[in-house]
Structure 1
Amino acid sequence: MKSATAITQVYGDGQKFVAVAVEYDTEIDTSKLSASSFKVEGRTVTKVYANSSAAMADQGTDGKYVIVELSPDDKSALLWGGVGSGGGAPGAAQPSASASGSISDSASDSASASASSEPSSSSSSPYVIPGPQVGSTGGPATIKAAKGTVTQAGTVTTSGGTGYSGGDAKVGTSKTVNLIVDDFQQFTYKAAKTGRSLPYNLYIPKDYDRTKSYPLVLFMHDASLITTTVRATLVQGLGAVCWASPEDQAKRPAFVLAPQYPEVVVGDDYKPTALFDTTVDLVKSLTGKYSIDTDRLYSTGQSMGAMMTLGLNIKYPDLFAASWVVAGQWPSAPAAPLAKKNLWVTVSQGDTKAYPGENAIMAVIEKAGTKVSRAVWDGQSSATEFAADVKAMAAKGTTVNYATFKKGSTLAGGLANAHGVEHNSTWPIAYTIEGIREWIFAQRKTN
């Protein structure tokens, strides 16, 4: 064994350490390997095979690397640890229980609970944590390093037939490959109008060709992620990285923009800071710098980011061709412009603010004469079942699709960062649904 490289992957509840690539001095016979050939301290080995590069694969092939896959369900697999408070910001506080024992949160964010808040004296309804304070800031994010020690427990055979005996030989990981996350670049945009700076992550399609035109999708994170750690939005969950996966990019090459907000941009008073409009300025600046099709600009976001998605579509109705709103709401009174937009809205029925908020918006949209397709989904559906659900809704041909998760169904999976709250448990599931991404990219802005 020459060296070992840790491999990480982002899941709905955050980035996890999922494999080790062990480098040998010669090509290894993959057919002679098994899961018992290697051990990784404190981890469950699920699969072992050889490869020609330090990368996971569906099937092994003879090569100088042995890939030791690890269970993402191991407690020590999770690297994402959340954001600490800073500058008076709300941190990653747990939601509070009501007098009735039920737990809820603001559709803006449970993580922004005020320490001085008291539960309601009424035991008939769940206590709702106040939303984030606009302008509050967050401290650095906690992201553990992917470290592991590998032991070759059994004999490893080279493709030439030489056997390397197992024993006590160990090697620690010295490098890390962060799948998809490493494909994003980090920049800072400074708005000419306000002088405000906005850090952001940008995925540029591989083999980018200036003679071609590409769509761009904007992802905006929730208020628990207010931090100075620019790559935090890439490792907290799937909202940004799902669009940049090799599988998605092979079908739908696109730019992916993921700002990292250093402050809470919008809260429950719906009066955003200057970074609300700065986000639009950033999008427009990128369309001038790269070959981006302004008829194929898309927006999406979770919680605070979902609120921003709705608010931006109302204030800038001609900007985005389609939007995906995940667990957020906006006042219904000014929502009429949404009736002319291509929207897919996903929310949990147990979300005490986003669900009634979206119901009110749908009523406004329908009053304006736009038909809304509605469906109730099981949050524990398989990928195949979700694909069928999306296909059934898309077949109706409506411009507004409203898919709600059955109450309680998003909590059954025990997501690490959901804190037992149906608001927070919505987006780890929603962004796994590939068919909605396909529907979003099928939309075009009509002039």
Structure 2
Amino acid sequence: MKSATAITKVYGDGQKFIAVAVEYDTEIDTSKLSASSFEVEGRTVTKVYANSGAAMADQGTDGKYVIVELSPDDKSALLWGGVGSGGGAPGAAQPSASASASAPASVSASASATASSAPSASSSSSPYVIPGPQVGSTGGPATIRAAKGTVTQAGTVTTTGGTGYAAGDARVSTSRTVNLIVDDFQQFTYKDPKTGRSLAYNLYVPKGYDRTKSYPLVLFMHDASLITTTVRATLVQGLGAVCWAAPEDQAERPAFVLAPQYPEVVVGDDYKPTSLFDTTVDLVKALTAKYSIDADRLYATGQSMGAMMTLGLNIKYPDLFAASWVVAGQWPAAQAAPLARKNLWVTVSQGDTKAYPGENAIMAVVEKAGTKVGRAVWDGQSGAAEFAADVKAVAARGTTVNYASFKKGSTLGGGPANAHGVEHNSTWPIAYTIEGVRAWIFEQRKTG
């Protein structure tokens, strides 16, 4: 064994250490390997095979690397540890939703908004048990544990020439890491000449980018529990950003993926955003001008605070996005009329005591404006095939606004359910696994 490389992957509940690629000095016969051939300290080995590179594969092939896959369900697999407190915002503070979905508010960004200008959810009559963070508050550094493992060859490994390497006490520790999809993003900082604000962001540029072609762009905005200056945090917390850049998605739908990392709560319970609300739009426009991005195929999505921003941006800038996916968030229904003219897919859990009634109020406004809403109730524990059929059934109606709610309690327990045990937080680890909604978003074009 010459060296070992750790391989990580992002799941709905965060980035996990899921494999080790062990390098040998000669090609290994994959047919002679089994799950008992290797041990990784403190981990459950699920599959072992050879490969020609330090990469996972559906099937093994003879090569100088042996891939040792590990169970993502191991407690020690999870690398994402959340955000610490700082500047007055608790790291566990959950993204805010309105205390009263129909309360009047302004969509105008307020650069001078401070924590004292926004009431917390705890002062409202809402039954939601976790107080919403205050606008302008900040978070501490994110905790992302390094992927490290020690591998022992526990069985005989046979080369393609027939030579056997006997099991022994030799151990090798990982010395480098491959972060699937995450490593494909680049990190930058945008200085907005209009607002004077700086905003760090992650950008995925399609592989083989060709300036003579035109590409769509997806903007993902994270929730308020992720307020931090650790720029890559939004990439490893969950699937909201990386799902669009997955190889299988990019093969079907090549696109830029933009994931800002907000250092402060941009919008809180009073729905009066900080200036980073407008800076986000200015960033989208700047990238559209810099790269060969189709201005008629700009898409927005976000979870909780990011969902609130998605709705607010569509109201203030109704001609910017061709379609948007709103996950577990809302905006005052009194301002929702412009949404009736947009292409929207809304996903929320029925047990979410703020976002669900808030979205119901918005849908009532949309329908009153004459726009038909494609409604559906889904089981959060459905598999990929079931979700595909669910999306197909809704999309077949041809509605421009679609509203899919998860049955109460169905996003909790099993699968990637959120550790907080709150249906608000457990919505997006499941929602962003649904490929059919991503496909629907890309089918929409801006008209007029």
The structural deviation recorded for 1:128 is 3.1
Equivalent position of 1:10 in the other structure: 10
Relative to 1, partners in 2 of residues 1:108 and 1:40: Cα closer, same or farther, differing over 3 Å? farther
Classify 1:285/1:118 alpha carbon distance in 2 versus 1 (closer, same or farther; 3 Å). closer
CA distance in 2, matches of 1:239, 1:231: 13
Partner residue in 2 for 1:72: 72
Contact 2:120 2:269 in 1 (8 A): no
Q: Alignment partner of 2:334: what SS?
A: coil
| Alpha-carbon distance, 1:90 to partner | 2.1
Aligned partner letter, 1:161: G
| Cα distance change of structure 1 residues 145 and 56 upon mapping to structure 2, 3 Å threshold | same
| 8 Å CA contact 1:108, 1:303 repeated in 2 | no
Quick one: distance in 1 between partners of 2:418 and 2:412? 11
2:262 match: 261
* 1:199–1:383 CA distance, 2 compared to 1 (3 A): same
Aligned residues: 430
CA contact (8 A) 1:349 1:407 kept: yes
Q: Which runs of 5+ in 2 are unaligned?
A: 100-114
Kindly report which structure 2 residues correspond to 1:171-210, keeping only aligned pairs within 5 A, or say none. Answer: 171-210=172-211
Q: CA deviation at 1:120?
A: 9.2
What is residue 369 of structure 2 aligned with on the other side? 368
Contact 2:26 2:63 in 1 (8 A): yes
Question: Quick one: which amino acid aligns to residue 137 of structure 1?
Answer: T
Task: Specify the alignment match of 2:147 in structure 1.
Answer: 146
**Is the 1:90–1:136 Cα contact (8 Å) retained in structure 2?**
no
Q: Which amino acid aligns with 2:10?
A: V
Q: Which amino acid aligns with 2:356?
A: Y
Structure 2 matches for 1:208-357, cutoff 5 A? 208-357=209-358
Map 1:23-34 to 2 at 5 A.
Answer: 23-34=23-34
Deviation at 1:388, TM superposition (A): 0.2
TM alignment of 1:117-156, pairs within 5 A: 126-156=127-157
What amino acid does structure 2 have at the position aligned with 1:60?
G
Distance 2:132 2:325 in 1: 21
Letter in 2 for 1:333: A
**2:108 aligned with 1:107, yes or no?**
no
SS in 1 for 2:203: strand
CA distance in 2, matches of 1:106, 1:351: 12
Give SS of 2:24's match.
Answer: strand
Q: Deviations over 1:226-261 (max 9, x none)?
A: 001000000000000000000000000000000000
- Counterpart mapping for 1:386-425 below 5 A: 386-413=387-414, 415=416, 417-425=418-426
The aligned residue for residue 92 of structure 2 is: 92
Partner of 1:38: 38
Over 3 Å counting, the alpha-carbon distance change for 1:373 and 1:322 in structure 2 is same
Structure 1 match to 2:111: none
Say whether the 8 Å CA contact 1:108–1:132 is kept in structure 2.
Answer: no
Q: Distance in 2 between matches of 1:291 and 1:340?
A: 27
Q: 1:417 to 1:405 in 2, by over 3 A?
A: closer
Structure 1 residues 121 and 387, CA gap change in structure 2 (3 angstroms)? closer
AA at the equivalent of 1:107: A
**C-alpha distance in 2, partners of 1:120/1:268?**
10
Q: CA deviation at 1:119?
A: 7.7
Q: Is the 8 A contact 1:201 1:257 kept in 2?
A: yes
Contact 2:132–2:268 (Cα < 8 Å) also in 1 = yes
- Give the distance between the partners of 2:174 and 2:129, measured in 1 at CA: 44
> Could you say if the C-alpha distance between residues 416 and 430 of structure 1 is closer, same or farther in structure 2, counting changes exceeding 3 Å?
closer
Q: Aligned equivalents of 2:250 and 2:408: distance in 1?
A: 33
Q: Which stretch shifts more, 127-136 or 196-205?
A: 127-136
Amino acid at match of 1:166: A
Residue 214 of structure 2 aligns to which amino acid in structure 1?
S
Q: Which amino acid aligns with 2:54?
A: A
- Determine helix, strand or coil for the equivalent of 1:381: coil
Asked if the contact 2:136–2:266 (Cα under 8 Å) also holds between the matched residues in 1, the reply is yes
Displacement after TM superposition at 1:32 (Å): 0.3
Contact 2:122 2:131 in 1 (8 A): no
Deviations 1:16-71 (A, max 9, x none): 00000000000000000000000000000000000000000000000000000000
Q: Does the 8 A contact of 1:108 with 1:304 survive in 2?
A: no
Q: Is the 8 A contact 2:96 2:131 kept in 1?
A: yes
Indicate the percent of aligned positions where both proteins have the same amino acid.
89
Pairwise CA RMSD: 1.9
Structure 1 position 413, deviation (Å): 1.6
SS of equivalent residue, structure 1 residue 333: helix
Distance 2:297 2:218 in 1: 8
Q: Does the Cα contact within 8 Å between 2:150 and 2:173 map onto a contact in 1?
A: yes
Letter in 1 for 2:275: A
CA shift, 1:126, in A, is 4.1
Provide the secondary structure at the position in 1 that maps to 2:348.
strand
SS, match of residue 136 in structure 2? coil
Contact (CA 8 Å) 1:106, 1:128: kept in 2 or not? Answer: no
1:412 is displaced (CA, Å) by 2.0
Listed as ranges, the gaps of 5+ residues in structure 1 are 96-104
The residue type paired with residue 75 of structure 2 is K
Alpha-carbon distance in structure 2 between the residues aligned to 1:376 and 1:80? 31
CA distance in 2, matches of 1:274, 1:188: 16
Change (3 A) 1:121 1:285: closer
| Aligned partner letter, 1:244 | A
State the alpha-carbon separation in 2 of the partners of residues 291 and 270 from structure 1.
Answer: 33
Between the aligned partners of 1:40 and 1:323, the Cα distance in structure 2 is 43
Aligned residue in 2 for 1:63: 63
Q: Which amino acid aligns with 2:341?
A: K
Which residue number in structure 1 is paired with residue 104 of structure 2?
A: none
